[in-house]
Amino acid sequence: MTDSFGILQSLQKIGIKPENLGASTGINWLESAESLLSSHSPADGKLIAKVQLSDEETYEKIISQAQIAFEKWRLVPAPQRGEIVREIGNALREIKADLGKLVSYEMGKSYQEGLGEVQEMIDICDFAVGLSRQLYGLTMHSERPGHRMYEQWHPLGIVGIISAFNFPVAVWSWNAALAWVCGDVCLWKPSEKAPLSGVACQLIAGKVFAKHGMPEGISNLIIGDYKIGELMSHDPRVPLVSATGSTRMGKLVGQAVGARLGRSLLELGGNNAIIITENADLDIAIRGALFGAVGTAGQRCTTTRRLIIQENVYEEVKSRLASAYSKLVIGNPLDERNHVGPLIDQDAVNGYLTAIEKVKAEGGKAVVEGGVLEGEGFESGCYVKPAIYEAENHFEIVQHETFAPILYLIKFKTLPEAIALQNGVPQGLSSAIMTLNVREAEAFLSAAGSDCGIANVNIGTSGAEIGGAFGGEKETGGGRESGSDAWKAYMRRQTNTINYSTSLPLAQGIKFDI
């Protein structure tokens, strides 16, 4: 392990030690692991630690244990399940600073964003506690005398969670907290690019479950490559697979789960746009676009990738953005004076460079030129310059999501044209309009407006709160996580009819007398 930036101390506070970095933390099955996975920080390129990868034998052991745990957990009253989730949220409060530091160092996002991600976990635990007393079903009037109809919701079983590197802990918690209060158990495959953050969460949750005498297997962690994801996707013992990542990955998961008629909850790519009209408050618009485009070094699924600007304010917005970009400070994400940290790895850097080459080849013009940073503080090779290019919406590279801080400026004349440009990509996650005109705002939010799962007015495309359902349409996958009634994805609906009369009438007035 490295001790850079005090990380070793934070790891020890969380409970991560060399002896518990196994394939399934808290379950001593290390003997079946075949290889090691190294976790390097993109902040400085240094090795943080090595964890053991799981194989199919380990997967089978974890699944068996999860099945046994589910049989007990589903019978615990939902409000009692909520109380345990409450304690997990409190445990996260106590370790917030250290877990936030680990997330920042392992993933590369700023320390403030790392803290924010842990706060999301705390918030979803709070939401889930209240939800544990609100898993409502409906009561319906029966057409048959002396009959009562109602519906209730039951847990599914094992919920498989496949998460991405950019939010290495929050997205897991969105799924796990809701699944737990619904009576499900969870099997989590974190990103291979941020495994230690997964180990930390497993340790924190596992201690709380153990404290309450709950069986091992309610919270399960399995560290592995795509093969583990394939096992999970094809396994009929996993009725729901919630997968976050690229559209390409999501299509493979969706096909595999669909082939066995299972359920999938897919949170995939985004190609998000902000429309800035002539009626916008440009101060707010610039701030929203700036964080949306460069926050997390452009590695959010809700990152602003396109800025669609009305022609008579286009030059002013372009000039002000360029000026704002010149003030960005890039560097070590644990230094709170810096605005932008590194990309996750060299593959991401290569993708960034390729996108710049492509937009130029298609006729794009640089407003703020990109490039890789070198020298002191940038030794990892993962630091890049946030870039801006004038482009056209139909450019091939603009139609695809590049997980990097590249912003495309696109000009429009009328609002219907702007909405068509906004919708004119395969993805449909997040969108926003900057305007003080209520007619423009309402048109954007109407059925003829944004086709995304998230549509905002006078805020950017990033920064969703857990109270609302999160997700998108088209190639974003259609899934919904977190707030509102997203809990229904983790349960099965059952309709019940009770006859308390002394006769047996049939529905629809059918007669069947003998």
Q: Which residues pair with 430 in a beta bridge?
A: 454
Q: Contact at 8 Å (CB) between 84 and 37? A: no
CATH class, range 272-470: alpha beta
Q: Contact at 8 Å (CB) between 52 and 223? A: yes
Residue 77 to residue 82: CA distance in whole angstroms: 9
Enumerate the CATH 3.40.309.10 domain ranges in the chain, comma separated: 272-470
Would you state the pLDDT for residue 23?
41
In this predicted structure, the answer to whether residue 351 has a pLDDT above a threshold of 80 is: yes
Tokens representing 362 are 């298609």
In this predicted structure, the answer to whether residue 31 has a pLDDT above a threshold of 60 is: no
**Confidence label for 493 from pLDDT (cuts 50, 70 and 90):** very high
User: Is residue 478 left, alpha or beta, with left meaning phi > 0 and alpha meaning psi from -120 to 50?
Assistant: left
Residue 98 to residue 169: CA distance in whole angstroms: 13
Q: Contact at 8 Å (CB) between 117 and 100? A: yes
Would you state the pLDDT for residue 16?
82
Would you state the pLDDT for residue 18?
61
Report the half-sphere exposure of 382 (CA within 13 A, side-chain side): 30
Give me the percent of the chain exceeding a pLDDT of 70. 96
* β-strand pairing of 185-189 with 158-162: parallel
Secondary structure (DSSP) of 326-358: HT--BS-TTSTT-SB---SSHHHHHHHHHHHHH
Torsion, Cα 229 235 236 241, to 10 degrees, reads: -10
Digit-coded pLDDT (tens) for 380-415: 999 999 999 999 999 999 999 999 999 999 999 999
Q: Contact at 8 Å (CB) between 151 and 137? A: yes
Q: What is the DSSP letter of 468?
A: S
Nearest to 114 by CA among 131, 95, 132: 95
Would you state the pLDDT for residue 3?
61
301 is catalytic: yes
Residue recorded with tokens 């009959």: 147
Rg over alpha carbons for the chain, rounded to the nearest Å, is 24
State the pTM of this model: 0.95
Give me the percent of the chain exceeding a pLDDT of 90. 89
Would you state the pLDDT for residue 26?
34
Residue 162 to residue 322: CA distance in whole angstroms: 37
Tokens representing 24 are 């399934």
Would you state the pLDDT for residue 356?
98
Would you state the pLDDT for residue 4?
60
In this predicted structure, the answer to whether residue 353 has a pLDDT above a threshold of 60 is: yes
**Confidence label for 116 from pLDDT (cuts 50, 70 and 90):** very high
In this predicted structure, the answer to whether residue 22 has a pLDDT above a threshold of 80 is: no
Digit-coded pLDDT (tens) for 253-307: 999 999 999 999 999 999 999 999 999 999 999 999 999 999 999 999 999 999 9
Would you state the pLDDT for residue 8?
79
Q: Contact at 8 Å (CB) between 211 and 97? A: no
**Confidence label for 29 from pLDDT (cuts 50, 70 and 90):** very low
465 is catalytic: no
Pairs from 210-215 (Cβ < 8 Å, separation ≥ 24): 210/26, 211/87, 212/84, 212/87, 214/69, 214/72, 214/73, 214/76, 214/84, 215/65, 215/68, 215/69, 215/72, 215/73
Fold for the domain defined by 4-11+23-268+477-493 = Aldehyde Dehydrogenase; Chain A, domain 1 (3.40.605)
Q: Look at residue 510 and give its three-state secondary structure.
A: coil
**Mean pLDDT score, 86-110:** 97
Catalytic site residue from 125, 301, 382, 452:
301
Burial of residue 252 (CB within 10 Å: 0-12, 13-18, 19+) is: middle
Residue 4 to residue 46: CA distance in whole angstroms: 8
Would you state the pLDDT for residue 32?
43
**Mean pLDDT score, 1-6:** 61
Enumerate the CATH 3.40.605.10 domain ranges in the chain, comma separated: 4-11+23-268+477-493
Residue 351 to residue 40: CA distance in whole angstroms: 19
Catalytic site residue from 113, 192, 267, 440:
267
